[in-house]
Structure 1
Amino acid sequence: MAKGERREPSHTLIARDLGIAIVTGQHPPGSVIPGELDIAAARGVSRSVVREGLRMLSAKGLVESRPKSGTRVRERAQWNLLDPDLLAWMFEGEPPATFVRSLFQLRMIVEPAAAEMAALLRTDDQLARMDAALAGMVLHGLDTPEGQAADQAFHNTILEATDNELLVSLSGSIGAAVRWTTIFKFRDRRRPRDSMPQHRRLYDAIASRDAPTARDATIVLLQQAHEDTQRLLQG
């Protein structure tokens, strides 16, 4: 563990490891995962810690526990696929192309319209935060945690600028999608295309309150990100 890095609580680590195993298919829907006592013994923790980890997975729709039948993985249709943790776990492995396509379809439905609204409704403070996020992306690069955090902040501020609480509530999911697709693209030795020109075009459109151009810039940005992600999945 790197200096200064905070270690996650044991129950969170258990939920993460089991969650990754579930969403990547190691524990398929309908299967029974190891029992609480077995997990506790293997991890060197108490049974209550394991239970807390399983409760986290249950809250995300991944598992259900029944007396005498153990903890079973629920059908995929029951999973909370927009949960930020679950999105992160998906990208720990190689997510199915169908899932990636669905994720970008969702973003294509939400984000161009949000950019249009942001161009018309944004405040000077929100615009300043978008500008600062762009500067952070350039300074650190999108292949670093700092640059990825700045990228998330940029997109989250656009959602915030819509002044629509339901759109803002999607910021955790959209932000996770932005972060993990970016991380995934940079795993390969082949560098993805530079997305900064499109980010800058989007910012300039919002700054000038040009809603149609903000929408168009977002569409091009998402198309480029989807194509780069697909290219990596196809090898």
Structure 2
Amino acid sequence: MRLRKDKGTKGEGAKREPSHVTVSRQLGVAIVTGRHEAGSVLPGEIEIAEQFEVSRSVVREALRMLSARGLIESRPKVGTRVKDRGSWNLLDPILLEWMFESTPSKKFVRNLFELRMIVEPAAAELAAQKKTARHLAAMGHAVEEMARHSLRTSEGQLADQEFHAAILDATDNELMINLSASIGAAVRWTTFFKFRNTKTPRDPIDEHRALFEAIAEGDKERARQVAIDLIINAERDIDAVLDG
């Protein structure tokens, strides 16, 4: 098995990723999509190195990355075993990316949107009260970039992620800010999944503009409601793709 080329989600001009990252990603995708089931033992280092045509040191580094995300554990005389899903770091941004390389389960997607519904409306309300000029500049720029590039492109999807991260940053709550990478990744990869699998997806740019305006005006009630509406509509979009 040769190293598979990156799918290009980061744009045509993106640099080629290091070999250990590629091996980790391909093994990680195989695990989170069920090709390597929980409790199963992965091939040994030598076999993986031969499959991917890389050195054993590359394989060891790739396995360390998987272990850090809770996907595998290595034991003497047993080998490298895939851990139960309950041990996975499901909010890790890279793991979220891997989940959407294929088609995630409806339960996982529902859980993801339930988390967003708990966090983001409250964050929008706080942001409306605590935002600074710096936060508004970041949000406004992100909305402009989303409109300029469209959410069909990696640039537009990154801008969408940055918009939601700026809202969490504006809460001035270090615990919410700590969720920024996870929430941002959830936003980015659900959007990527939707646009990859839908010919004419709904464009939510007006909802993002409305949320930005509510926060800029300090209207916390409206900011909360617009955030709720945005998440509900985004979940409906993904459900339509999964049901299709």
Partner of residue 204, structure 2 = 195
CA distance in 2, matches of 1:140, 1:47: 41
CA distance in 2, matches of 1:194, 1:14: 35
Shift of 1:109: 0.2
Letter in 1 for 2:178: S
Match among 147, 165, 177 for residue 156 of structure 2 = 147
Detail structure 1 runs of 4+ shifted over 6 Å in the superposition: none
CA distance in 1, matches of 2:107, 2:212: 30
After superposition, residues 25-174 of structure 1 pair within 5 angstroms as 25-174=34-183
Letter in 1 for 2:184: G
Match among 162, 175, 189 for residue 184 of structure 2 = 175
Match among 210, 214, 220 for residue 229 of structure 2 = 220
Q: TM-score, normalised by structure 1?
A: 0.97
Q: TM-score, normalised by structure 2?
A: 0.94
CA distance in 1, matches of 2:17, 2:199: 32
Specify every segment of 5 or more residues in structure 1 that has no aligned partner in the other structure, as ranges. none
CA RMSD, 1 decimal: 1.2
SS at match of 1:216: helix
Residue 198 of structure 2 is aligned to residue 184 of structure 1: no
Shift of 1:188: 2.6
Query: Cα deviations across residues 68-109 of structure 1 (Å, max 9, x unaligned)?
Result: 111000000000000001000000000000000000000000
Query: Cα deviations across residues 10-59 of structure 1 (Å, max 9, x unaligned)?
Result: 11111100000000000010011111110111222221110110010000
Letter in 2 for 1:24: T
CA distance in 2, matches of 1:189, 1:117: 34
SS at match of 1:129: helix
Aligned residue pairs, count: 235
CA distance in 2, matches of 1:189, 1:148: 15
SS at match of 1:71: strand
Identify if the C-alpha distance between structure 1 residues 3 and 86 changes in structure 2 by more than 3 Å, giving closer, same or farther.
closer
Shift of 1:194: 2.1
CA distance in 1, matches of 2:167, 2:14: 29
SS at match of 2:196: coil
Identify if the C-alpha distance between structure 1 residues 212 and 83 changes in structure 2 by more than 3 Å, giving closer, same or farther.
same
Partner of residue 15, structure 2 = 6
Letter in 2 for 1:77: G
